[in-house]
């Protein structure tokens, strides 16, 4: 067993004991590789991994996935099933049989990930067992990244930054959002991103940039437009998530003032982040700059979110969140101002909490930049 996996499972066993859980059952999603090193895609063929508090582990997989089990980093009892769906329940019953034999009472699941498909098989295999959410326990482990995870996240950030720099020279009057999106994706892959990107890049020009989650369209850039890129890379399963906004020629004074407010808010949020402060206070520090600049009503979302194996995970940087920031947490700081019909500005950085404060993993210039017309 790798040292990292061993440490995670040990911590998980402690969390199970603290929450009176006999085991956790996971289906394909970020937590399964985090705790096992095994990778499966969600599909019509169910897969579940059972990790018991006692240290026993078992997995139910289709026969065609059995070769992947050779990569298991710890002893794992495996049960495979054929294509014949009538035999799937028997495989689940066998795979979870040790829980039934030991008299398990409470088993943790991740409700946001577990499908009804797997849930029904589990319920049939474990009648009378209480299934409860263990999401907060697993999130508590995943929030604080170890050195290996941080190395992968740094690489994902470097890939994303290099891809943007290769894409920017092609943005000019007449450039089309969908075409620039395709070029950016190509550059991400060229620089080493995994093909499963964290999300479809948001490439938004002009008035479209006032939509925080815009989808690239056939719109062609015009002089004076704001040019917004929100994109990220995947390196060995770990994500980056960045946003930069540019102007194509000289924009209106209102957009320039909005940009400076967003830049100041981004700096204030990053500067406030450190061990011991709450996630909510980081949002407060960020938001107050935009409010003072007179744009408060146009900042319509939280300041940020955790980042790692998922592009959105704990901790969420939002007002009122009392979660205390701790060394090793990674998250985004991404204030924005969105002026309907005119344009939007967002500046997003990936931030790491360190022992003496914080570090921005992303290093792209944040100063207001005019792209050549």
pLDDT band at 74 (very low <50, low <70, confident <90, very high): confident
Domain match, 184 and 134 both: no
Predicted local confidence at residue 73, as pLDDT: 80
Predicted local confidence at residue 71, as pLDDT: 81
Q: Which of 82, 107, 142 is the last residue of a domain?
A: 142
Predicted local confidence at residue 215, as pLDDT: 97
Domain match, 59 and 84 both: yes
Mean pLDDT of 316-324: 98
125 with 155: CB under 8 angstroms? no
pTM of the complete model: 0.95
Domain match, 203 and 344 both: yes
Domain match, 114 and 205 both: no
Q: What is the pLDDT of residues 283-301, one digit of tens each?
A: 999 999 999 999 999 999 9
Predicted local confidence at residue 112, as pLDDT: 93
Q: To which residue do tokens 């969420």 refer?
A: 316
Domain match, 103 and 189 both: no
Domain match, 129 and 267 both: no
Domain match, 154 and 81 both: no
Q: What is the pLDDT of residues 3-40, one digit of tens each?
A: 899 999 999 999 999 999 999 999 999 999 999 999 99
Q: Which of 142, 173, 190 is the last residue of a domain?
A: 142
Domain hosting 204: range is 147-371
Predicted local confidence at residue 2, as pLDDT: 81
Domain match, 287 and 321 both: yes
CATH of the domain at 25: 3.40.350.10
Domain match, 242 and 162 both: yes
For the chain, give the mean pLDDT. Answer: 97
Q: What is the pLDDT of residues 116-126, one digit of tens each?
A: 999 999 999 99
Predicted local confidence at residue 1, as pLDDT: 59
Domain match, 76 and 31 both: yes
Cα 74 → chain centroid: 26
Number of structural domains found in the chain:
2
Q: Residue 158: CB partners within 8 Å, gap ≥ 6?
A: none
CATH of the domain at 242: 3.90.230.10
Task: Give me 203's structure tokens.
Answer: 């490439």
Mean pLDDT of 259-269: 98
Above pLDDT 70, what percent of the chain?
100
Predicted local confidence at residue 17, as pLDDT: 97
Domain match, 351 and 272 both: yes
305 with 349: CB under 8 angstroms? no
Predicted local confidence at residue 359, as pLDDT: 98
Whether 260 shows a pLDDT value over 80: the answer reads: yes
Q: What is the pLDDT of residues 175-215, one digit of tens each?
A: 999 999 999 999 999 999 999 999 999 999 999 999 999 99
Q: What is the pLDDT of residues 148-181, one digit of tens each?
A: 999 999 999 999 999 999 999 999 999 999 999 9
Q: Is 341 left (phi over 0), alpha (psi -120 to 50) or beta?
A: left
Domain match, 215 and 152 both: yes
Q: Which of 90, 111, 142 is the last residue of a domain?
A: 142
Predicted local confidence at residue 3, as pLDDT: 87
């Amino acid at each position: 067993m790798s040292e990292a996996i061993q440490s995670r499972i040990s911590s998980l066993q402690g969390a199970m004991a603290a929450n009176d859980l006999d085991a956790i059952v996971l289906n394909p999603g970020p937590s399964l590789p985090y705790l096992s090193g095994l990778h499966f895609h969600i599909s019509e063929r169910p897969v579940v991994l059972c990790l018991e508090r006692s240290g026993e582990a078992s997995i139910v997989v289709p026969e065609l996935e059995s070769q992947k089990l050779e990569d298991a980093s710890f002893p794992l009892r495996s049960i495979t099933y054929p294509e014949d769906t009538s035999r799937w329940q028997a495989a689940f019953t066998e795979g979870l049989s040790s829980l039934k034999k030991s008299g398990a009472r409470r088993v943790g699941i991740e409700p946001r990930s577990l499908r009804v498909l797997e849930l029904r098989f589990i319920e049939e295999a474990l009648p009378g067992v209480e299934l409860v959410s263990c999401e907060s326990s697993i999130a508590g482990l995943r929030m604080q990244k170890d050195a290996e995870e941080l190395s992968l996240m740094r690489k994902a950030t470097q890939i994303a930054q290099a891809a943007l720099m290769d894409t920017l020279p092609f943005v000019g009057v007449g450039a089309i959002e969908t075409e620039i999106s395709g070029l950016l994706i190509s550059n991400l892959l060229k620089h080493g991103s995994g093909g499963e990107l964290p999300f479809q890049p948001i490439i938004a020009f002009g008035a479209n940039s006032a939509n925080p989650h815009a989808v690239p369209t056939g719109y062609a850039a015009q002089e004076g437009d704001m040019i917004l890129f929100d994109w990220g890379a995947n390196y060995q399963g770990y994500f980056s998530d960045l946003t930069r906004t540019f102007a194509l020629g000289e924009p209106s004074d209102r957009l320039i003032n909005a940009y400076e407010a967003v830049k100041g808010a981004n700096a204030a949020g990053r500067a406030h982040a450190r061990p011991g402060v709450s996630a909510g206070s980081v949002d407060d520090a960020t938001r107050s700059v935009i409010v003072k600049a007179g744009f408060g009503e146009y900042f319509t979302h939280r300041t940020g979110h955790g980042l790692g194996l998922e592009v959105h995970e704990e901790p969420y940087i939002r007002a009122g969140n009392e979660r205390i920031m701790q060394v090793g947490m990674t998250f985004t700081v991404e204030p924005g101002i969105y002026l309907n019909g005119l344009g939007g500005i967002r500046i997003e950085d990936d931030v790491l909490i360190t022992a003496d404060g914080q570090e921005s993993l992303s290093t792209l210039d944040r100063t207001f930049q005019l792209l050549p017309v």
